[in-house]
Structure 1
C-alpha cells in the first residue's frame, strides 16, 4: 500500500479511538448512575429505567444508530454523524454496563452499608468510601469486556457516514482493487487497541492484588 492509503486508514483509526474514548468516558458513569437508581428501587423511575435498559439491549446496534440519526430529528434532536455515533455508542454501552454495575451492587453485602450508616456515615460517604471501591474491583473484568465490544461496534456507525477504520479500509480497497492489505492493517489496529485495553486491565488487577496482599493471577 502507498503512504496516502495507510494515512487514510490511520485517520480512520483516530476517529475510532476518539469515538470509543468519548463513549467510554460517558457511558460507564451513566451506567453506574442507572444501576444506582434502580438499586434504590425508586417507584416509577425504576420501571422506566428498566424499560430503557431492556429496549436498548434488545435493539441491534445498527438499528440504534439509524434511530438516533434519522428518527430523533422528528422530535427536535438533529445531530451530525459524529455526535449521533457518540450518542448511540454511549446509550448502548451505558445500558449493558448498568447491568454489570447492578449485579455488583446486588452482590454487595448490605450489612456493611447498614453498619456504616449506624456509625453515622452519610449515604454519600458510604458509597464513595465503602461501596464503590468494592464494586468497581468486582466489575473491572466485565466492564473491560464491554468496552472491547464497544470498540468492535464502531464499524456500524459507517451507515451514517462516519469514516472509521473499517470504512476507511473499504475505501482504500475499492480504490486500489486490493482489499486484503488495507483490511489486514485495519485488523492489526483493532488488535492493538484491544490489547491495550486488556493489558491495562491486567496492570490494574496486579496493582490491586499487591495493595490488598493477594497473589496476582
Structure 2
C-alpha cells in the first residue's frame, strides 16, 4: 500500500504539487484578508458603539452557527445570482476570508478584553484620545495573546481548503480525487493526500512554535 502510494505520488507529482500550491495560496490569501476584517471587526466588538457591535455580533453568530461548506456554497452560488462572477479559486478565498474573519474578530476582542480596564482609564486620564489609546496602548498589549492564535488559524485554513474541492478548486483533496479517477486507485491516492496534509501541518506548527519562541510568546498563551 505504501509503495503503491509513493509510486502514485511520483507518477502524478505535478497534480499533487499544483494542489499543494493552490491550497497554500488560498490559505495565505484568506488569512491576510481575514486578518484585516477580523481586526476591524474585533475592535468594533470591543468599542462602545452599539450599532457596530450589533452588526459584527450578527456576522460572528452567522459564521459560528453555520458549517463552512454551507458558506462556500452560499457564496459560490449566491454571487452569480446578484451579477458578480468570480473564478472558483477567488470564490474559495472569499469563503475562507468570510469564515476566518469572524474567528479572528473574537480573538481580537478576547485579547482586548483581557487587558485590565485601568490601562484605558490611565491613558484617558493622561489626555490621550480613545483612538490613540486603542492603537498605541491596548493593541500592543493584546498582541502576545492574539498573534499565536492567528498563526494557528493559518494551519486550520490549510485544512479548510479541502472543502474547496466541492467547487472544483484543484487543491490537495481535489488532486487526490483526480488521481483516483485517472488511476482507479482511490485508497493510495487519498493516502498520499493524507500524508501531505500531515506533513504541511506539522511543518507549519513547527514554524509557528519557532516564531512564538523568537517573539517571546509562550505556548500557554495560545487562544
TM-score (normalizing by structure 1): 0.88
Residue in 1 aligned with 2:24? Answer: 17
Tell me the matched-pair count.
211
Residue in 2 aligned with 1:131? Answer: 138
CA deviations on 1:18-38 (whole Å, 9 max, x unpaired) are: 000100111022111101011
Q: Does structure 1 residue 101 correspond to structure 2 residue 93?
A: no
Task: Determine if contact 1:165/1:186 at 8 Å carries over to the other structure.
Answer: yes
Counterpart selection for 1:183 from 176, 186, 190: 190
Counterpart selection for 2:90 from 59, 83, 88: 83
Q: Identify which range, 79-88 or 129-138, moves more after superposition.
A: 129-138
Distance in 2, matches of 1:146 and 1:75, equals: 31
Distance in 2, matches of 1:154 and 1:193, equals: 13
Distance in 2, matches of 1:127 and 1:195, equals: 35
The runs of at least 4 aligned residues of structure 1 exceeding 3 Å deviation read 120-125
Task: Determine if contact 2:88/2:168 at 8 Å carries over to the other structure.
Answer: yes
Task: Determine if contact 2:152/2:208 at 8 Å carries over to the other structure.
Answer: no
CA deviations on 1:74-114 (whole Å, 9 max, x unpaired) are: 22322221111011000000011111111111111121122
Aligned alpha-carbon RMSD (Å): 2.1
Q: Identify which range, 143-152 or 34-43, moves more after superposition.
A: 143-152
Counterpart selection for 1:7 from 1, 14, 36: 14
Offset of 1:128 from its aligned partner?
Answer: 3.4
Q: Identify which range, 5-14 or 36-45, moves more after superposition.
A: 36-45
Distance in 2, matches of 1:209 and 1:9, equals: 36
Match of 1:181, SS state, is helix
Task: Determine if contact 1:104/1:138 at 8 Å carries over to the other structure.
Answer: yes
Q: Does structure 1 residue 116 correspond to structure 2 residue 132?
A: no
Task: Determine if contact 1:140/1:201 at 8 Å carries over to the other structure.
Answer: no
Any unmatched runs of 5+ in structure 1? 213-217
Task: Determine if contact 2:39/2:105 at 8 Å carries over to the other structure.
Answer: yes
Residue in 2 aligned with 1:162? Answer: 169
Distance in 1, matches of 2:199 and 2:48, equals: 41
Distance in 1, matches of 2:143 and 2:30, equals: 18
Match of 1:163, SS state, is coil
Task: Determine if contact 2:46/2:113 at 8 Å carries over to the other structure.
Answer: yes
Any unmatched runs of 5+ in structure 2? 1-6, 219-223
CA deviations on 1:4-50 (whole Å, 9 max, x unpaired) are: 51111111110001000100111022111101011113132221211
Residue in 1 aligned with 2:40? Answer: 33
Distance in 1, matches of 2:54 and 2:15, equals: 46
Match of 1:203, SS state, is helix
Match of 1:202, SS state, is helix
Q: Identify which range, 11-20 or 109-118, moves more after superposition.
A: 109-118
Counterpart selection for 2:159 from 130, 152, 155: 152
